[in-house]
């Protein structure tokens, strides 16, 4: 019996491709409780504590991608040594060469694992061959840790950051498990100063961490997973079988699903980091409240959009080389941002549409309005005469529905499926089905209504709730976590629903 139980434990702790370790699983909760105990015991032993966290982080990544955790070690060692060599080199040519080596290593790994089959399929027609996709496993989160490590070498190259002296510290930065597989992409200059800082978790940090974990868990495991399994997947798997109104509700549902899924993960990552004494930047700021596409990208996946701005858009020239070049740089940045999400023309279309929208918004606000004789003050004066809600409603409706339209390409695997869904919405709407649809899926629509309601609540409401959780005694905070876990158990499906951004 003991032998059987031991084998079950080993099997539970081993890597299984069909069940990656995620924050919303019971196994992670069990492991994190044990981890926290050891972490607390090592509070005053910095080196031992950092080593323990690195080992746990590598195990966490092993549970997500198996033996491919060695890629994480390759990136870590290579960029650490490159940065050390870069700072001791005076020659600008050699420094640039070292940066190129870092780019080749990081982007080379990214291109091989994510884009080999994509480019292979594009090139096959050149020799009239038949495309047979290569069996290449995509390690979880490779886009995140390569971008995070690249930010370090680029900052060192720009002399904005001094390189670390200890490989352990750098391994801690790259592999820190809360943000390892799905972000947020933490900048070296923000995180590295915290590594050797004395460990101190205040009651406010602990309470805020608990609040973020339970809110993220609720968004991911209750709202996102339930509406996905019970409605959204059915629509997107066969859009031609459903009317236009059903497809439209599926698009609205997916807009909520991907927000709750990814922002829920980010909330849990930020909350876990706070419990361990580290601060991560905010990754989402109610993006569907945006009144323009530009504002949307200041609120959505902030760590990626700011990374693309600082390391790609500015490197291309930003807005320093004239208006036409500025618009071109915006479009190129978003095209590559779309391709970062996956090797598919649908992602390229999604990124291209956002890039064009950003360029059009900049052209409208900074060129066309002044050319028509309107200054910013005149526009504000004109709109101030209209009802305030009307002034915000029109740009909000345009922005929200443009973003939802783009999600169609993001979610579907093929252009054919995307065009089918668009065709059903615009040519086979049949609004009479709506009442029957809501009655048949009332649980889904109730959760969708709750999700959007929580999203559009004023920021002051969330801040008030956060303060109340912070003020609760530790026992009540633990009870609140148990209540949310109970709710998750009641509504969860039988299969584990991985986070959407694990595939990126």
The catalytic residue positions are 341
Residue 403 DSSP SS3: helix
What is the SS3 assignment for 234? Answer: helix
Tell me the helices (H) and strands (E) count for the chain, helix number first.
Answer: 24, 0
Question: Alpha-carbon torsion 152, 153, 155, 161, what sign?
Answer: positive
CA distance 168 to 355: 39
CB distance 86 to 163 below 8 Å: yes
Cα–Cα distances in Å, from 328 out to 6, 106, 185, 293, 321? Answer: 60, 25, 25, 16, 10
Say how far apart CA 182 and CA 72 lie, in whole Å. 14
CA end-to-end span of the chain? 42
For the chain, the helix, strand and coil percentages under 3-state DSSP, each to the nearest 5: 75, 0, 25
Local structure of residue 129 (DSSP, 8 states): -
Q: Are 61 and 502 in contact (CB under 8 A)?
A: no
Q: What are phi and psi of 394, to 5 degrees?
A: -65, -55
């Amino acid at each position: 019996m003991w032998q059987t139980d031991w084998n079950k434990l080993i099997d539970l702790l081993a890597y299984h491709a069909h069940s990656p370790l995620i924050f919303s699983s019971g196994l992670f909760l069990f492991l994190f409780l044990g981890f926290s105990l050891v972490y607390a015991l090592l509070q005053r032993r910095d080196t031992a504590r950092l080593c323990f966290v690195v080992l746990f982080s590598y195990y966490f990544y092993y549970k997500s991608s198996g033996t491919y955790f060695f890629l994480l070690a390759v990136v870590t060692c290579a960029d650490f040594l490159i940065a050390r060599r870069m700072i001791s080199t005076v020659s600008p040519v050699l420094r640039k060469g070292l940066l190129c080596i870092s780019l080749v290593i990081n982007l080379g790994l990214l291109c091989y694992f994510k884009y080999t089959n994509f480019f292979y399929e594009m090139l096959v027609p050149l020799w009239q061959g038949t495309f047979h996709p290569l069996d290449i496993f995509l390690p979880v989160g490779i886009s995140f840790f390569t971008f995070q490590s690249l930010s370090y070498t680029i900052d060192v190259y720009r002399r904005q950051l001094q390189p670390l002296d200890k490989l352990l510290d750098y391994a801690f930065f790259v592999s820190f498990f809360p943000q390892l597989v799905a972000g947020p992409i933490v900048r070296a200059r923000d995180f590295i100063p915290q590594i050797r800082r004395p460990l101190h978790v205040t009651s406010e940090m602990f309470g805020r961490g608990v609040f973020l974990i339970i809110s993220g868990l609720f968004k991911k495991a209750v709202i996102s997973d339930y509406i996905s399994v019970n409605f959204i997947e059915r629509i997107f798997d066969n859009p031609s079988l459903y009317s236009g109104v059903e497809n439209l509700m599926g698009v609205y549902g997916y807009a909520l699903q991907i927000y709750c899924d990814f922002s829920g993960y980010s909330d849990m990552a930020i909350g876990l980091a706070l419990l361990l004494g580290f601060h991560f930047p905010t990754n989402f700021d109610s993006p569907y409240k945006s009144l323009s596409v530009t504002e949307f990208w200041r609120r959505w996946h902030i760590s990626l959009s700011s990374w693309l701005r600082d390391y790609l858009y500015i490197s291309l020239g930003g807005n320093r080389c004239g208006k036409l070049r500025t618009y071109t740089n915006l479009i190129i940045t978003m095209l590559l941002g779309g391709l970062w999400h996956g090797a598919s023309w649908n992602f390229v279309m999604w990124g291209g549409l956002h890039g064009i929208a950003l360029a059009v918004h900049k052209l409208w606000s900074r060129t066309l309005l002044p050319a028509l004789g309107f200054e910013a003050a005149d526009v504000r004066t004109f709109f101030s005469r209209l009802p305030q809600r009307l002034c915000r409603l029109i740009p909000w409706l345009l922005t929200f529905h443009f973003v939802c339209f783009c999600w169609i390409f993001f979610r579907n695997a093929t252009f054919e499926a995307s065009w089918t869904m668009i065709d059903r919405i615009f040519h086979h709407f049949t609004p009479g089905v709506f009442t029957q649809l809501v009655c048949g899926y009332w649980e889904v629509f109730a959760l969708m209504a709750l999700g959007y309601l929580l999203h559009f609540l004023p920021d002051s409401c969330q801040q008030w709730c956060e303060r109340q959780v912070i003020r609760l005694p530790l026992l009540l905070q633990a009870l609140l976590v148990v209540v949310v876990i109970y709710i998750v158990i009641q509504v969860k499906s039988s299969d584990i629903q991985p986070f959407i951004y694990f595939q990126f």
